[in-house]
């Protein structure tokens, strides 16, 4: 089962909660940017494999997407 919880991490209490949740062996914490990036990478990979991608090489699309999400953090 997966549960998505949206947390505004601007408060100290929220940061403490996130730290605690990360310490549990049955949880996985991902920020929204990572989830969006994973979705875009999956979509780009599918286009690449189908031959319908607008770019020429896989490394360039990964670099473009990673730079986009790194700048949004």
Q: Report the pLDDT value the prediction gives residue 8, as an integer from 0 to 100.
A: 83
User: pLDDT confidence of 5, banded at 50, 70, 90?
Assistant: confident
Looking at residues 26-38, what average pLDDT do you find? 75
The domains of the chain are located at: 31-73
Looking at residues 30-45, what average pLDDT do you find? 74
Cα–Cα distance, 37 to 8 (Å, whole number): 19
pTM, two decimal places: 0.44
Q: Are 47 and 41 in contact (CB under 8 A)?
A: no
47-66-17-28 Cα dihedral, nearest 10 degrees:
40
Q: Are 8 and 14 in contact (CB under 8 A)?
A: yes
Cα–Cα distance, 22 to 40 (Å, whole number): 25
């Amino acid at each position: 089962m997966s549960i998505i919880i949206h947390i505004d991490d601007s408060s100290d209490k929220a940061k403490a909660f996130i730290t605690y949740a990360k310490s549990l062996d049955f949880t996985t914490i991902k920020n929204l940017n990572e989830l969006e990036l994973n979705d875009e990478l999956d979509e780009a990979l599918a286009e690449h494999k189908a031959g319908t991608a607008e770019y020429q090489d896989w490394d360039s699309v990964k670099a473009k997407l990673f730079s986009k999400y790194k700048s949004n953090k």
